[in-house]
Every structure is written in structure tokens, then in C-alpha cells.
Amino acid sequence: MHEIALIFTCLAIGIILRWSGRLPDTATKTLGGWVINVALPAAALRSVHDLKLQPDWWFAAATPWIGVVLAIIVIVPICRAFGWSTQRTGALLLVGGWGNTSFVGLPMIAAFAGSQWLGLGIVIDLFGSYLALSTLGLAIASIASAGKLDWRLVAKRIITFPPFIAILVAFATNHLERPEWLTQMVTALAETLTPLALAAVGYALRLDRLSGRLGALGVGLGYRLLAAPLAIMLMYLALRQGGDPVAKVAMLEMAMPPMLGASIIAMDHDLEPDLVALLIGVGVPLSMLTAWGWWSIISLL
């Protein structure tokens, strides 16, 4: 899959650019600024347009929200037990709580479940991961960054958050025909999301800073790649829906590696960027193995 090759290539480009010294030390912030203010909104505008929804897809779309709530229940007490900072806690919640249900998730759906389920994958990504990130995720980042809860500040950041605005605009204009030039422009801007986000992560990735972060890395990836998919699978089994194809796609999406958009937001709020980069840099390659393992189990249900 060329998408997987692009992931490793862009990570490598970011690492090489840091080694070369050709970009300033603030490159991660600059690249992240483009992702948040341009690429993510464009991705929302592209995904919503002409999207066909099925009534039985809504519960599947709720699974990323359930995964995030579970992350708060699981990760916050662990962080408090270890005496970790609010910045580290916020980083683990954002990068561990959100899965990459789009750029990694959609190719995985096509490869394992079949391309006929890509529409469901887009719904899970947009109404689940994406919408949750634009609201609950931004609230977590704001609270962790400030070290306290300021509802007015959180509300202001959400309603002025470009991806959230883009989702509202996309819903309001979804019934309107778009001229071809506008569609092409939105698509071109949206396609900068993965390359620039991964380059930003690669630029920030420092394996020499792994010391002192192994425990946090284990907690974040342990939840993201193991606990979250297991919890959603058990939930569907308890509801006696484990054999439903829609449920199987939702379970597969919950086995995805950390979400790039969530990592960029964490970095933008200075939530331990070194740890965030490690979670992505280690989590994405590792997920190639764990996702296959989860699908092997899911397909037997």
C-alpha cells in the first residue's frame, strides 16, 4: 500500500531535515500551524461532501468517543499514580486516546474488510475521531496546557478552532454543488495533511530522548494498540453484535495507531513534544503488526 510507504517516507524526511539543519528549530510549530489551520479544515470539507450515511452506522461513529472517554478513565489515574505532569497526561490522552482512523485506517479497511466499507470508515473518522478531536480533544489540550480549567477559554478555542468551523461549514453547504475548481483546490490542500504532519513529527522525533519516557510510552501505546481495541471488541460482544460487519469495521478502526491531528494539537500546546513524537514514531510502525493481529481475531467473531 502506497499510503504506508508514504508514512515512513515522510517521517524519514522530517528526521533528515532536522539532521541537515536546513530548517529552523521552530519548524515543527510552523508545519503544525499549517496542518491545524489549513490541511485539517480542508480534509473536513472534502470528507463531508456527498457523503452517504446509513442509519446503522451511527453507533460505529460513536466508538472513537467511547474510546476517548475510556482513555480518560484509564490514563488519568495512572498518570496521577506516577506523579506525572498535566502536560504529560494531556499528551497521553490526546495521542493515546485518538486513533488514526483516516490515513492509516481507511487503507486498512480496504485491505482487510473490503473497499465497500470505506464510506463507513469516513463516517467513523469524521463524526467520531475528527469531531471529538475538534471539541473534546481541544478542551483536553487547553486544560493540560494551562494547568487549570477555564471554561470561557476552552469554549472560545473550540468555536474559533479552524477544523471545527470547517465541519460546520461543510454540514451547512453539503447540499450545494461545488464547482470543479473548488473541489480540486480543497482536495489539494487536504492532501497536504499527512505529509506535513508526519514531517513535523519526524522533525521532532528524538530517539536519544527516550530515557525517562519509556513508562509513558508504554502507557500510551499500551492503551492505543491493545486496551482500546480490546474494550470496543468486548463491548460489541456484550451487545451480541460481534459478527456484524459494521461492528467489525468499527473494531478495526479502534486498533489504529495514534492520530496525526491529535499529535499536532498536542505539540502546538507544548504537551511534551518529545513524548508525542515518540508515540507516533514508534506507534505507527508497531501498529502494522498489531492491527493485523486484531483483524485476525475480529474476523473469527
Q: In this predicted model, what pLDDT tens digit does every residue of 228-266 receive, in sequence order?
A: 999 999 999 999 998 899 999 999 999 999 998 899 899
In angstroms, rounded to a whole number, what is the distance separating the alpha carbons of residues 223 and 216? 11
Least confident span in 134-143, 170-179, 217-226, 270-279 = 170-179
- When pLDDT is cut at 50, 70 and 90, the band that residue 281 belongs to is confident
- Helix, strand, or coil here: 42? helix
In angstroms, rounded to a whole number, what is the distance separating the alpha carbons of residues 36 and 41? 7
Helices 228-238 and 58-82 cross at an angle (nearest 10°) of 130
Q: Higher confidence at residue 96 or residue 204?
A: 96
- Report CA 252 to chain centroid distance, whole Å: 14
Note the pLDDT of residue 290.
Answer: 95
Give Cα separations from 221 to 161, 288, 295 (angstroms).
27, 13, 18
**Per-residue cell: 116:** 465497500
| Stated pTM of the model | 0.86
Of 201, 228, 218, residue with least CA distance to 88: 218
In angstroms, rounded to a whole number, what is the distance separating the alpha carbons of residues 216 and 252? 24
Q: Higher confidence at residue 170 or residue 70?
A: 70
Of 121, 75, 66, residue with least CA distance to 94: 75
Q: What is the mean pLDDT of residues 171-191?
A: 87
Confidence check: pLDDT of 53 > 80: no
Q: Higher confidence at residue 295 or residue 203?
A: 295
Confidence check: pLDDT of 104 > 90: no
Q: Higher confidence at residue 212 or residue 87?
A: 87
In angstroms, rounded to a whole number, what is the distance separating the alpha carbons of residues 186 and 44? 9
Confidence check: pLDDT of 288 > 80: yes
Note the pLDDT of residue 1.
Answer: 59
Note the pLDDT of residue 203.
Answer: 85
Confidence check: pLDDT of 122 > 90: no
> Which strand (E) or helix (H) includes residue 210?
none
